[in-house]
Chains A and B, each alone.
Chain A
Amino acid sequence: MKKPRLHRERNYGTIYALPIALWFTVFFLVPLLVIIVFSFLKADVDGGVMPLVSLDAYRNLLRPRIFRIFFNTIWVSVVSTLITILMALPCAYFMAKSKAKTFLLILVIIPFWTNFIIRVFAWKTILESNGVINSLLIGFGAIANPLPLEHNWIAVIIINVYTYLTYAILPLFSTIEKFDFTLLEAARDLGASKIQSIVRVLLPNVKAGIVTAIFFTFIPLLGSFVVQQLIGTKDMYMLGNEINDNIYKYFDWPTAYAIAVVLMLLANVGLLFVMKNDRKQAKAASARRVDDVDDGPRAPRQAISVAGGR
């Protein structure tokens, strides 16, 4: 039989998606490819490159100083992320169970509406040798000389946690909010203690939110440089500072690009590690819910719906 003549279906999908495809190709993919390709070229003066394939940039990274920086980056990011998540979990739980969710959500977001650098400045005011805390302590006669609160690891980690706490709370909130709290009652009914019911029932069920919270905290932390520069010391420099210095101080851009490539790999190793565990869990749970077994984008996508419609 002959193919019937049908009404023409124009593919509007392409029309709708063309702007984003063009925008991301030009302003995201191409720049990313530029730095990846240029990291394998020889550095020229004032930030340029010579059309010579070279591993100089990567060779520059094989120095004890860079190893230390690399190590700093990992441990500061991991510790800051852990503390952030541990603080964010009970907050998100409380918010999800509260009757005033919208209000609490706004409360958490408000500090976010003040630029990051201004909040770093506020912390500086608090921690400085003649800052708020020291003034108060001296004023009360608790100490005679100001404590060295600034320029140490603790200060850097406090500000890191401060910066990413909201980033961690939002995805956790949106997943815990969808959690069926009667499951906790069921667990209690079956003999679990409150802590057991949270660890064994709540946490496994809000895993997607935890993974997203880790993404949102750990990945940007890997590339941070401002806090170390303004509140820390040179000993605390991380890969982000090294990129900054190679761009603006040494004008060795290929080396900055090479560090960026290392950072991308680092971010993705962390990511794969988290997602692999997540995927395993998801597979085990696939009998229950088919839509859990999905590729990566699901978790952030779910969690980004946070403020959606609220």
Chain B
Amino acid sequence: MQKKRFSFSKTSFIASMVFLFVPLVVLIVFSFNANKAPVLTGFSLVWYQRLFTSSRSLWNAFFTSITIAVTASITATVIGTLAAIGVHWHKFALKTYVQAITYIPLVLPEIIIGMSLLAFFSGSHFTLGGVSVNVGFRLNLGWLTIFIAHATFCLPFVYLMVLARLDEFDSSIIEAAHDLGATEGQTLLKVIIPISMPGIISGFLTSLTLSLEDFTITYFVSGVSSTLPMAVYGQMYKGGVSPVINALSAIMILGTIVLALLARNFLKYIAANG
């Protein structure tokens, strides 16, 4: 047998994975700690007990985050998919505009998207002859504004992922559908959407991930409404984070791992059939 040779890339990968997962492990370990301070003192389920008995506001914040992630991702997926289909197969006046405007958010620091939406939603105002004039939408910061912001920054990703999938097909597949008697609506539902599915699904999952991960943009547009990241930020800012957060995070981490493995099998199935 040949002696196993040292592999730089493998060692780097393992080291990086340790780096990526250590904080998650710490979160989980401390969720079972008997003490509040970051010193391990003993095993306890007290934080889980509190999470399930007296953390209504935390759960509300959690479900707000989930709801926003799901609705914003669905919105971004529908709008982004349609845009990709239009841009890939058609020539039209708005095409260059769409291509440019979906690209710009990717090359802007996210803080700018957050603060510009804040300026827009708070109805940036100026006084003209004693009268206050508003520019933008005056929307109360909250659920709706977070939803809009999340859908906005997820949109380019869905659009580009579906477009990447459609790049595998030239116009003949659409022409074949029309040639065989399909109307535009039938072509969309029976051919275009099914063949785009792998791109649509990865776009949707990416949107979910980005939405759940985002803090910066949410921070600017959330106002007083509480989402999970804002709740954690508030506690950190004040200096003391309750280990109940650890318990909730631990549940979320294990939940996402289970979901990810399910998704993996699902995506494998898609890949085999796409």
Contact = CB atoms under 8 A, between A and B. Distances in A.
Are A and B physically bound partners?
yes
Interface of A: 10-21, 23-25, 27-32, 34-35, 38, 41, 44, 47-51, 87-88, 90-91, 93-95, 97, 102-104, 106-126, 128, 130-132, 135, 162, 165-166, 169, 215, 219-226, 230, 240, 243, 247, 253, 256-257, 260, 263-264, 267-268, 271, 296-297, 300-302, 304-310
Interface in B140-163: 148-149, 151-152, 155, 157, 159-161, 163
A130 B268 contact: no
A122 B92 contact: no
Contacts of B7: 94
B111 interface: yes
A18 B90 CA distance: 13
A51 to B, nearest CB: 5
Contacts of B39: 130, 135
B202 to A, nearest CB: 4
Contacts of A268: 107
A200 to B, nearest CB: 17
Given A102-B264, A118-B232, A309-B202, A128 B24 contact: no
Contacts of A215: 106-107
Contacts of B30: 125
A297 B99 contact: yes
B267 A310 contact: yes
B64 interface: no
Contact of A304 (B111, B160, B228, B237): B160
Interface residues of B, number: 117
B176 interface: no
A223 B216 contact: yes
Contacts of B135: 34, 38
B86 A224 contact: no
Q: Which residue, B10, B98, B124, B202, has most C-beta atoms of chain A within 10 A? A: B124
Nearest to B117: A31
Contact of A308 (B132, B151, B165): B165
Nearest to B87: A17
A108 to B, nearest CB: 7
B271 interface: yes
6 contacts: A31-B117, A113-B253, A116-B216, A297-B103, A302-B164, A307-B206
Contacts of A28: 101, 104-105, 113, 116, 152
A140 B233 CA distance: 33
A16 B90 contact: yes
B126 A44 contact: yes
A289 B52 CA distance: 59
B84 to A, nearest CB: 8
Nearest to A305: B164
